[in-house]
Amino acid sequence: MKILVICPDYSDATSYYRAFGTFNDIESRSDIQFTRYESAFSVQQGGNFGATWADLIKYDVAFFQRGMGAKSVELCAYLKEMGLKIWYDLDDSLWDIPEQYAIKKTYNLSILETINQLLSMSDLVTCSTIELKKVIESKVNKTAHVVKNAWDINRFPIKEFNKEGKVIWRGSSTHISDLRSCGTMLKQISQSDKIEFWGHNPINNAPNLSITNYSYVAPLDPISYFNKIRKDNIKAFLVPLQDTLFNRCKSNIAWLEATASGAVTYSNLVGEFSHTLPFEDYFNDIKHEEVYRKFKDNLLSDYNLTYWNNIRIQLLKQL
């Protein structure tokens, strides 16, 4: 089976968890091959999409990820005319982005309509969480299959719990309002431990957090980031989340990263983070090592990349 892959960004974290970060394992254990759209043909050949029918017809399936420009709908329709099956994957409820999030403008009504059309034309729809499945199925008359984000244990073995270590928050400007909602708790934590903000310096955009005991780590590409969190002796990940539909549909990759790097996760217990530790427990004398062992067992049993890629393979074989 030959699959043509169309992603908004092939090298970002979304691709790592939902696309090219998972495809190598599938290729190593099946007869399925994945090819980036741009590398599938020479753009000099022309055609409506930078390719001719002769370039595209040799594929069996086209994989579309997230929302893209309106031309992706035309491309999807053209591929269906040639007999390709369409696989669409989504990892966030992009219809339910809170108004205060900067990315709300990116996923405007036009992009949302594109997503609706791609979903409607798809032969296979996958998503990352049960709550997101419910949202998708309420939007279009399609069954969405949950394929959880998972950890590649073979590439990045899980570390043991770091008894002594530092505290980090990782994210982007998208999460500023979530940080503001937990400002009091973050301030209290920073009075006992220094907080490292990875990927974004929120204090510049949210001075009302009043956190002084902190430092900033610049963004890294996913592989460098995964290696760094495993080397940096981290004991706690902070994941402040407002209780919104968008966050209830969000996948728990921060928890995966924390557990794999030997850290425990503290959050507001929203959605997929309902099985982490509440922020209040940060100051309690709880058995962190025992909790971490449960987190680790949960990762091994329910968030193993090999298992979820087997689900992907089964779904693709049914197309």
What is the per-residue pLDDT across 114-130, written as a single tens digit (0 to 9) for each?
A: 999 999 999 999 999 99
pLDDT of 102 > 80? The answer is no
For residues 266-272, average pLDDT: 95
For residues 165-184, average pLDDT: 90
Q: Could you tell me the pLDDT band of residue 144, with boundaries at 50, 70 and 90?
A: very high
pLDDT (tens digit per residue) in 189-207: 999 999 999 998 887 777 6
Which of 48-62, 209-223, 249-263 has the least mean pLDDT? 48-62
**What percentage of the chain exceeds 90 in pLDDT?**
72
The predicted pLDDT at position 41 comes to 56
CATH superfamily name and code, 166-302: Glycogen Phosphorylase B; (3.40.50.2000)
The predicted pLDDT at position 46 comes to 47
For residues 147-159, average pLDDT: 95
Whole-model pTM?
0.93
**What ranges do the domains of the chain cover?**
2-150+305-317, 166-302
Identical fold for domains 2-150+305-317 and 166-302, yes or no, is: yes
For residues 30-54, average pLDDT: 72
Q: Could you tell me the pLDDT band of residue 172, with boundaries at 50, 70 and 90?
A: confident
pLDDT of 45 > 50? The answer is no
Q: Could you tell me the pLDDT band of residue 147, with boundaries at 50, 70 and 90?
A: very high
For the chain, state the CA radius of gyration: 21
Q: Could you tell me the pLDDT band of residue 43, with boundaries at 50, 70 and 90?
A: very low
CA atoms of 275 and 281, how far apart (whole Å): 13
For residues 236-257, average pLDDT: 96
Return the residue matching tokens 């009504």. Answer: 109
- From the list 186, 216, 213, 181, the residue with the least C-alpha distance to 200 is 216
pLDDT of 262 > 50? The answer is yes
Higher pLDDT, 284 or 93: 93
Look at domain 2-150+305-317 and name its CATH class.
Answer: alpha beta
pLDDT of 236 > 60? The answer is yes
Whole-number average pLDDT of the chain = 91
For residues 280-291, average pLDDT: 89
For residues 308-313, average pLDDT: 98
pLDDT of 286 > 70? The answer is yes
> What is the 3-class SS of 133-169, one letter each residue?
HHHHHHHCCCCEEECCCCECCCCCCCCCCCCCCEEEE
Q: Could you tell me the pLDDT band of residue 44, with boundaries at 50, 70 and 90?
A: very low
Return the residue matching tokens 């997503």. Answer: 115
pLDDT (tens digit per residue) in 48-99: 666 778 888 899 999 999 867 768 899 999 999 999 999 999 999 999 998 8
